[in-house]
Structure 1
Amino acid sequence: MTTDQNTAPTPTPTSTPSAGIDPIRVDVWSDIACPWCYIGKRKFEKALTVTGIPVEIEYHAYELAPDLPEEFEGSEQDYLEIRGFTADQVQPLLSRIVAAAKAVGLDFNYDILRHTNMLKGHQLIRWAKAEGHQLDMVERILAAHFEEGRHVGRDEDLAELAAEIGLDREKALSALREGRYADDVRADEAKARQLGIQSVPFYVFENTYGVAGAQDPAAFADILRQLAEKKQETTQ
């Protein structure tokens, strides 16, 4: 089942949401290679379930390792050492990430994870946005990368992921081969620099309030409630 890319599925609230307000705009800068982006996604979704407040979400590209080749042959240890971690820091870090993922219902598997350049993956997400299914594509590509060990840097593999959420494989493949959305990815990254974003995930609420990191669901819920109350005040 697919959903509209801009509007998150209506959750079943466990507290009474603010009634009659327009959706809260949420722009998320995220990288496919970022484990905390996937963990943060689940935490934010939990906040939506708790509050029942409607949101309009758009994902934006942010590459943590833009110089990585499409076919990276190294291990997770190799990748993290390239990213500046020492050898004795890697296993404690991975253990902490896997535990944090498990706590929100995700099953990260670093034994099979395949690192790659994420430019094409971000282009696919932008193409899926144009097709009206960005949120579905974000979820599918993150699961493929972190839980399934799929290659998310090659045109053909990415087109298969598009087909798995009901989109046209050949259209996706054509867009990727042409690099049709590369400029959109670069525009996202330029906007991130303009906003001073230096790490992801990074959430911008209502084009005004910036929040960094995979916050706890309660923190996200508090932000959403405060913004909903302000929206109500302006409409009264």
Structure 2
Amino acid sequence: MDPKVNVQMVFDIPCVWSYFTYARLQRALAHFRSGGGRAELTFRPYQLVPDATVEGRLNVDVLRHAFGDDAEHSIGRIAALASDEGLTFHPERAVHSNTFHAHRLIAVASAQGCGEDMAERLFRAHHTDQLNLADLDTLKTLAAEIGVGWSDEGIARTREALESTRRLGVHGIPILQFEDRPALTGTPSEDSLLAALHSAVGRRRVAPRFTTTDRRPS
């Protein structure tokens, strides 16, 4: 039996590139596992806006503040790219809020063997369903959908995980690392991710050394 491949992902849920990459990674993992491969995905939390409010703001307002007159073009481009990935995005109606407890919920779900499903549901809740992921009642409902037992624990561990990621010097997400292979940034293709899984089989495990380059597809 081949050893289990350790995959680490640095991400934040509102990040569209994180969702695109995660969707591709899930397809690559499904292909890899269907052929007998074994892989474990570890989520490393990152917050694009750590001081975002619990109440949240409409994402369209955030985009207009960031891009001005180009906001509508950015919204249309994001929706079109999502459609190409087989995803449904409503970027203009998404709620831009604090993701601390959403990251904590993924850690809780991972401990229960449901981390990947929980992450996918949270991505979809934000980008498709326009839910406020800082609202604890919303998170409890989403956890129940996946079969995750809700817990109020893990606050200190989540803070430590966020600080650990910060100390790595991360400035751009998403980032993926497959064992000791060089970290991948941006939005690698599904084929590239599948190749990375196969090449990582049998590699030695080392502490992550993520790149800090913030690259985006053109």
Q: Distance in 1 between matches of 2:121 and 2:31?
A: 23
1:90 corresponds to which residue? Answer: 71
Aligned-residue offset at 1:229: 7.1
Q: What SS class does the counterpart of residue 26 from structure 1 fall into? A: strand
Which among 197, 209, 230 is matched to residue 182 of structure 2?
209
Q: What SS class does the counterpart of residue 209 from structure 1 fall into? A: coil
Distance change in 2, residues 1:163/1:118 (3 Å): same
Which among 117, 122, 125 is matched to residue 98 of structure 2?
117
Which among 36, 40, 43 is matched to residue 59 of structure 1?
43
Q: What SS class does the counterpart of residue 60 from structure 1 fall into? A: strand
Structure 1 residues 156-165 or 41-50, which shifts more? 41-50
Aligned-residue offset at 1:144: 0.9
Deviations 1:94-139 (A, max 9, x none): 2222122111211011243112111111111111122221111111
2:193 corresponds to which residue? Answer: 220
RMSD (Å) for aligned C-alpha atoms: 2.0
Contact 2:45–2:161 under 8 Å retained in 1: yes
Unmatched tracts of structure 1, length 5 or more: 1-19, 232-236
1:195 corresponds to which residue? Answer: 168
Partner AA of 1:80 in structure 2: L
> Which residues in structure 2 correspond to 1:129-208 (within 5 Å)?
129-168=110-149, 172=150, 174-175=151-152, 180-208=153-181
- Percent identity reads 28
Unmatched tracts of structure 2, length 5 or more: 205-218
Deviations 1:203-235 (A, max 9, x none): 12115531112211122122223223758xxxx
Partner AA of 1:215 in structure 2: P
Q: Distance in 2 between matches of 1:183 and 1:207?
A: 28
How does the TM-score come out when normalised to structure 2? 0.83
Q: Distance in 1 between matches of 2:179 and 2:122?
A: 26
1:24 counterpart = 2:8: no
Aligned-residue offset at 1:64: 0.5
Partner AA of 2:61 in structure 1: D
2:213 corresponds to which residue? Answer: none
Q: What SS class does the counterpart of residue 86 from structure 1 fall into? A: helix
Distance change in 2, residues 1:230/1:185 (3 Å): closer
Which among 67, 71, 74 is matched to residue 55 of structure 2?
71
Bigger Rg, structure 1 or 2: 1
Deviations 1:138-192 (A, max 9, x none): 1111111111112211111110111111223xxx2x51xxxx3222222222222
Partner AA of 2:156 in structure 1: D
